[in-house]
Amino acid sequence: MITHFKNVNWVVTYDELTNSHTYQRDLDIVFDESEFIFIGKQYEKRADLVVDGSEKLLLPGLIDLHSHPSTEPAQRGVREEHVVPSMDMSSLYQRSTVFRLDERGKRAAIQVAYGELLRSGVTTVADLSFPFEGWLEQVAKTGMRSYIAPGYSSARWQMRSENQLNFDWDEARGVREFERALSLIDEAKNHAEGRLDGMLYPAQIDTCTRELLQESIKVSAGHNLLLTIHIAQSVAEFQEMVLRHGITPIQWASDIGLLSDRTILGHAIFTDEHSWLSWDTSEDLTLLAKSQVHVAHCPTPFSRYGQTMEDFGRYKKAGVNLVMGTDCSPHNIIEEMRTALVLSRISACDGMSVSTSDMLHAATVNATRALRRNDLGKIALNCLADFIVVDLNHPDMQPVRDPLRSLIFHAADRAICAVYVSGEKVVEDGVCLRLDSEHAYYELALAQRRMLDASSSYDYLSRTDDVISPIALPIKSC
C-alpha cells in the first residue's frame, strides 16, 4: 500500500546536517505501510492512494514520555483545584491514597486517555501504570506506539494527617512486582501488534529501597532497557530524602548510579536551586547534564499547585535533555507544550528563555534520543511514517503565516484532521478509528462514581469526596 500526499502546502521536515526541523513548502510526501519512501517535488510513480495535501500542514508525530492513562482520566473534575496547603500545596499524596480506580475503570480510562493522546497528535507514549488485567490488550487495540512501564515499589504512600507523609513498606511485594514487570515487558516486546515495547518503572525515588533500585539499574544495563522514575516532584519528597540521606533526591540518585542515558526522570522540578527549597547547594542541574539523563517535563499538574520548573530554558542551557509528558488529564500534549512555553518565560522573567522550536524538539527528536531511536519524531526518509495532518483552513489556524505557532498557541488539537502511525490512519476528523470512545466515556463515568463513593473508606478522617475536593460552585436548592 503506497500513499501519496500530493502538493502538501507546509511540511515540517528534518535536516540531519543541522539537527533541526525546518519548514518546506509544496512537497509530495509518500509512504508505504511503515515508513516514508519519498519526500520532494513531484512524485512520478504510481500510488495506491493519492491525497490532496493543499491547505494542509504535515508534522512529525509527537512523543509523550510521561503519562498515566490508566488512572488520570477518572480525576477529571477532582484534581484541577485540589490542593493541600499543609503539604506545600501538593495534593498528590492525599489524592493517590483515597481515590482508587478499580480495574474495570482502568480499562475505560486507557481508552479515554489514548483517545485524547491520539487526537492531540501523540503517536508514541510511555504508559506508566501499575499492572491490571487486560492492560496490554487495551493498549494494543488503540493503534498507538506504546512503551508500557509496569510500576513497582517497595512502599505505598499513606496519609495519617494533613501535614505528614507516611510509608507502608513491604519489600517482598516490591520484588514480586519487579518480577511481574519484567514478564510484562517481555510480553509487550513480543506482542503480535508490533507497536508495543517496554521500560522499567520503579515508581518513585522515595518508595523504592536502594536494593530494588540497584537491581533495576543492573537489569537496565544488562538488558539495554530504558528506566523511568518519579523524582524531585514535591517539597515533601525532597524533605523526606534529605531526612534519610542528608542530600537531595537528585544527588542521592547520582550516588547510587541511577542517573544515566538509559534513564528518564519524571519531573525533576525540585532541584537544589528551586526557590521553594532554600537549599545550600547548586549541584543538581550539573549532575543531570553530565549524566546524560533525560527529564520528562509535565507542567500542567504542577501549575495547579502554583508550582513550576525553574525553568525549561535554564535546564536546556545547562545541557539537560528535556522531553515532554502529559502526566494527567487532559492528555493533550500540544496544550502541555504551550503551558511549558508560557511558564518558562514567566519563571525566568525572560520572554526569550525558550522558543517554539525548542518545544517541538522536546516532543520529537529529544524524545527519540531518550528512546535511543533514530526512526521516530522526524519526517525524513526511512523514518517510520508517524505524522500529523493539520487543516490550515481551520479558523484557529488563520491567517497562516507561521503554522506551527498557530497550532501551539491557538488551534491545538482542534485543527488536527488526521493522525498516522506506521502509515496507518488512526485518527480521522477528530475520531479515533480503533476506539469506541462513547462507550469508554460511559464506563469511565460509572467507574469514577464508584471511586468517589469508596473514598471515605480510605481517608484517615473518613471524609467524602465532596469534602476532600469540593465542586466549583455550591448546588442551590429550588
Task: Give the model confidence (pLDDT) of 186-235 as tens digits.
Answer: 999 999 999 999 999 999 999 999 999 999 999 999 999 999 999 999 99
Q: What pLDDT digit, counting tens, does each position of 137-151 carry?
A: 999 999 999 999 999
**Residues of the domain holding 212:** 62-371
Q: Backbone dihedral region of 292: left (phi > 0), alpha (psi from -120 to 50 degrees) or beta?
A: left
Return all residues near 124 (Cβ < 8 A) that are at least 6 apart: 61, 62, 63, 64, 144, 145, 146, 147, 367, 371, 376, 377, 386
pTM, 2 dp: 0.97
Query: From residue 2, how far is each of 47, 424, 425, 434 by CA, in Å?
Result: 5, 11, 13, 21
pLDDT, position 106: 98
pLDDT tens per residue across span 381-391: 999 999 999 99
pLDDT of residue 319: 98
Q: How far out from the chain centre does Cα 59 lie?
A: 19
Q: How far apart are CA 28 and CA 301, in angstroms?
A: 40
pLDDT interval class at 435 (50, 70, 90) = very high
> Does a structural domain hold residue 475?
no
Cell 486507557 sits on residue: 110
> Quick one: 386 and 366 in the same domain?
no
C-alpha pair distances (Å), 23 with each of 20, 63, 221, 382, 384: 10, 20, 38, 19, 19
What is the distance between the alpha carbons of residues 79 and 64, in angstroms, rounded to a whole number?
A: 21
Q: Of 371, 402, 421, which residue constitutes the final position of a domain? A: 371
Using the 3D structure, point to which of 352, 371, 390 is the last residue of a domain: 371
Q: Count Cβ neighbours within 10 Å for each residue of 201-232 and write b for 16 or more, e otherwise.
A: bbbbbbbbbeebbebbbebbeeeebbbbbbbb
Tens digits of residue pLDDT in 6-60: 999 999 999 988 989 999 999 999 999 999 999 999 999 999 999 999 999 999 9
Residue 114 contacts residue 67 (beta carbons within 8 Å): no
Of residues 477, 455, 457, the one with CA closest to residue 468? 455
Nearest by Cα to 325 from 358, 357, 295? 295
Contact 177, 151 (CB under 8 A): yes
**Residue 212's domain is classified under what CATH number?**
3.20.20.140
Q: In this structure, is residue 168 part of a structural domain?
A: yes
Residue 408: DSSP 8-state:
I
Residue 206 CA, distance from chain mean position: 21
Q: Across the strands, what pairs with 156?
A: 168
User: Which grid cell is 125?
Assistant: 507514549
- Which alpha helices (DSSP H) does 158-209 contain, by range? 171-189
Query: Does 476 reside within a domain?
Result: no
Residue range 439-448: mean pLDDT, rounded: 98
In a domain, 229, yes or no: yes
- pLDDT of 478 reads 85
Interval 417-428 mean pLDDT: 98
- 397 and 357 within one domain: no
The amino acid that residue 5 corresponds to is F
Question: Cβ–Cβ contacts within 10 Å for residue 172, how many?
Answer: 9
Q: What is the mean pLDDT of residues 145-163?
A: 96
pLDDT in tens, 49-59: 999 999 999 99
Instruction: Please identify, among 371, 390, 420, the residue that sits at the C-terminal boundary of a domain.
Output: 371
Provide the domain count of the chain: 2
Are 18 and 141 in a shared domain? Answer: no
What is the pLDDT, as a whole number, of residue 417? Answer: 97
- How far, in Å, CA of 74 to CA of 444, rounded? 7
Residues 302, 165 share a domain:
yes
Span 342-356, average pLDDT: 97
Question: Residues 91, 51: one domain?
Answer: no
Cell readout for 74 is 477518572
Same domain, 190 and 219: yes
Instruction: Say whether both 275 and 194 belong to one domain.
Output: yes
Q: Looking at the domain assignment, is residue 466 inside a domain?
A: no
pLDDT of res. 168: 97
DSSP 231-253: ES--HHHHHHHHHHHSS-HHHHH
- Mean pLDDT over the full length of the chain: 97
pLDDT, average across residues 331-356: 97
Phi and psi dihedrals of 264, rounded to 5? -115, 120
On whether both 292 and 399 belong to a single domain, the answer is: no
Q: How confident is the model at residue 269 (pLDDT cuts 50, 70, 90)?
A: very high
18 and 162 inside one domain: no
- Under 8 Å between Cβ of 227 and 199: yes
Helix (H) / strand (E) containing 313: helix 312-318
User: Where does residue 239 rank: exposed (0-12), middle (13-18), buried (19+ CB within 10 A)?
Assistant: middle
Residue 474 lies in a domain: no
Grade residue 292 by pLDDT with cuts at 50, 70 and 90: very high
| Measured distance CA(77)–CA(328) in Å, rounded | 12
Share of the chain above pLDDT 70, in %: 100
Nearest to 427 by CA among 386, 394, 392, 397: 386
- What's the average model confidence in pLDDT over 445-464? 97
**Do 195 and 332 share a structural domain?**
yes
329 contacts 116 by C-beta, under 8 angstroms: yes
Give how far Cα 375 sits from Cα of 109, 122, 356, Å. Answer: 29, 15, 22
Q: Is residue 165 part of a domain?
A: yes
Output the CA angle 312-317-319, nearest 5 degrees: 100
Q: Are residues 202 and 155 in the same domain?
A: yes
pLDDT in tens, 117-133: 999 999 999 999 999 99
pLDDT for the residue numbered 155? 98
Q: Which three cell numbers stand for residue 219?
A: 537489569
When pLDDT is averaged across residues 82-88 and rounded to a whole number, the result is: 96
Q: Is residue 28 part of a domain?
A: yes
Domain shared by 341 and 244, yes or no: yes
Give the Cα separation of 361 and 316 in Å (integer): 11
Q: What residues form DSSP beta bridges with 124?
A: 63, 145
Query: Which grid coordinates belong to 56?
Result: 494542509
Where residue 428 sits, what CATH number does that domain have? 2.30.40.10
- Asked whether the beta carbons of 65 and 323 are under 8 A apart, the reply is yes
